[in-house]
Chain A
Amino acid sequence: MTPALETIGLTHHFGAFCATDSVSLSLPPGARHALIGPNGAGKTTLVNLLTGVLRPGAGRILLAGEEVTGLAQDRRVRRGLSRTFQINQLFPEMTPLQSVSLAVSRRLGRDGAWWRRLGHGGAVAEEAAEILGRFGLSDAMGRRVGDLPYGRQRLLEVALAIAARPRVLLLDEPAAGVPEAEREDILAAVAALPREVAVLLIEHDMDLVFRFAERITVLVAGAMLMEGTPAEVAADPRVRAVYLGEGGHD
């Protein structure tokens, strides 16, 4: 089966510093894959390479078997690669409904239309409402995004990415900064993501990683230290040494 996302020998240097060192990942459709590593392991650089913020010095990126290595960010999204951000990147003055409706219009190729109003015909509104409902945001659809509690803004991050109906979804620390009381909502939303979407989770939170991931890649100093099931990763002495430390997960 063609992988949903594949990287082959992905390499990137900042000057003499090698931030990404020959990383080869392969996510089948529907994968639940986590990328972990200590601070400075190159997780953010890898996300930037995958999404097109940076161009790799060497290596290739394939989306459903098609080369996207040289494509701009927005074109990768249109090919089915969506992302969320570690720090919320939302439209604070809009409502969740307006934001998701714009994302749905984009997916339908209607975001350039200037003659009809947003949501003309009702189909966009209905789909937006359905997506917001899935993330428990129905009651907040008409509020200003900037006024929502942080946890709900976090959910909207994921909802916006899902509105593009991606093949592959990069979740960049979805639970980062979320207060304890709202954490369960995020974990539940991540667990309930559509099964057909391949998810790459970049995360510090080991609890979330081990609850969610079916496979884990450990990144150290830009290179892949190992890849395996959560049990294999937890049992690996090298991983314990560099990352999990004394009180490793079990």
Chain B
Amino acid sequence: MTAAPEETARRQLAGLARWRPAEIAFWVLVLAAYFLFPQRAALIAEVAVIALFALSLDLVLGYAGILTLGHAAFFGWGAYAAGIAAARGWEDPVLGLLLGGGTAGVLGLLGAPLVLRGGDLTRLMVTLGLATVLHELANRFTGLTGGADGLQGMNVGPLLGKFEFDLEGHVGAAYALAVLFLAFLLLRRIALSPFGWSLRAIRANPLRAAALGIPVRRRLVAAYTIGAALAGVAGALLAQVTQFVSLDVLSFQRSADGLLVLLIGGVGWLYGGLVGAVVFKLMQDLLSSLTPQYWQFWIGALLVALVLLGRDRPRAWIAGLRRPAERAAP
């Protein structure tokens, strides 16, 4: 501790943003998985979609502390927006992605005042209600959505005008991983920025955050909007990769899966959503092949075990490996 405090301070803050070896190793492993398991491309794409959905939920829940049971509303909206666009001749996947994400973001911005007006219990109910309303609307307007039969006739053009989506799903998986990585980079930036820290501060202590002069409400609206937009991107991605949209993109199960993924991986840090998605999806895949009818039993058992063990435990093990000043990031 001979360094000047100013120097120490500068170094500590700069250290928060540094890429750690474990982070780089994680992404190298992701890339390796893509090349090592070409026959599992569809599964890899699905994991990427769930991971992106979990990341968007973590921004809302883990960083901003907004409880929600209806995050699937934005996921489903994005899926239908991109799906309907592709079924009506808007074939470019990147445009479809932006359309799904952008309109879901607008929906989030419009919904935020409703969601943020009450306490935690109100928020749970309002988010659940909004998702249910959208689900029923999608069910009702069969002309647009295909209703319970699902949206047929999507036609997704080649990626960047070059790469046709193949039946094995190789292009789809690469596309999904690329979108996930870009979204992750964006969220990492946000998490490390003063805006990201102001969200952590609001979650930890809204009273003190306001006493610092942070406009709490505006920050929460912004976080909710970004979270909604990214959930929309995740939904659009699913629609494009599977070339199909069914009502379950708007289901309560979808919202609950997102929460489960965060519970497995840990809330309030970005790798929680990523690791959680991998564990969740692999387990689902494994269990459903072992016991096709009862795999949900084991998911439930895991959930109970996790809560009893303490959901911060896996995260604490990992965080314990870091120096304390750097613990909170990203």
Q: Which residues of A does B touch, CB under 8 Å?
A: 51, 72-75, 77-78, 82-83, 85, 89-95, 97-99, 101-103, 105-107, 110-119, 122, 124-126, 128-130, 132-133, 138-139, 141-144, 160-161, 163-164
Contact = CB atoms under 8 A, between A and B. Distances in A.
Contact of B16 (A77, A92, A118, A160): A118
Given A102-B194, A125-B9, A83 B205 contact: no
B212 A160 contact: yes
A112 B216 CA distance: 11
Given A90-B205, A118-B13, A141-B9, A107 B195 contact: no
8 contacts: A85-B207, A85-B211, A91-B205, A107-B213, A115-B189, A125-B9, A126-B9, A144-B324
Contacts of A72: 210
A129 B195 contact: no
Given A89-B211, A106-B212, A118-B193, A98 B328 contact: yes
B201 interface: yes
Given A102-B198, A129-B8, A141-B8, A93 B328 contact: yes
A92 B204 CA distance: 8
A142 B31 CA distance: 35
B10 A125 contact: yes
B286 to A, nearest CB: 35
A110 B323 CA distance: 27
A75 B208 CA distance: 14
Contact of B211 (A77, A94, A129): A77
A97 B192 contact: no
B207 A119 contact: no
A77 B213 contact: yes
Instruction: Tell me if B's interface is mostly helix, strand, loop or mixed.
Output: helix
A94 B210 CA distance: 17
Nearest to A147: B324
B197 A118 contact: yes
B325 A102 contact: no
Given A93-B328, A115-B189, A142-B325, A74 B210 contact: yes
Contacts of A116: 193-194
B204 to A, nearest CB: 4
B120 to A, nearest CB: 19
A97 B9 contact: yes
B256 interface: no
Contacts of B197: 94, 98, 101-102, 105, 111, 118
Interface in B1-24: 1, 5-6, 8-10, 12-14, 16-17
A164 B213 contact: yes
Contact of B5 (A73, A105, A141, A143): A141
B198 A111 contact: yes
Contacts of A113: 193-195
Given A111-B195, A132-B5, A139-B1, 20 more contacts: A74-B212, A77-B211, A89-B211, A91-B200, A91-B204, A91-B205, A92-B204, A95-B324, A97-B13, A97-B325, A102-B198, A106-B214, A111-B197, A111-B198, A118-B13, A118-B196, A129-B5, A141-B5, A142-B12, A160-B208
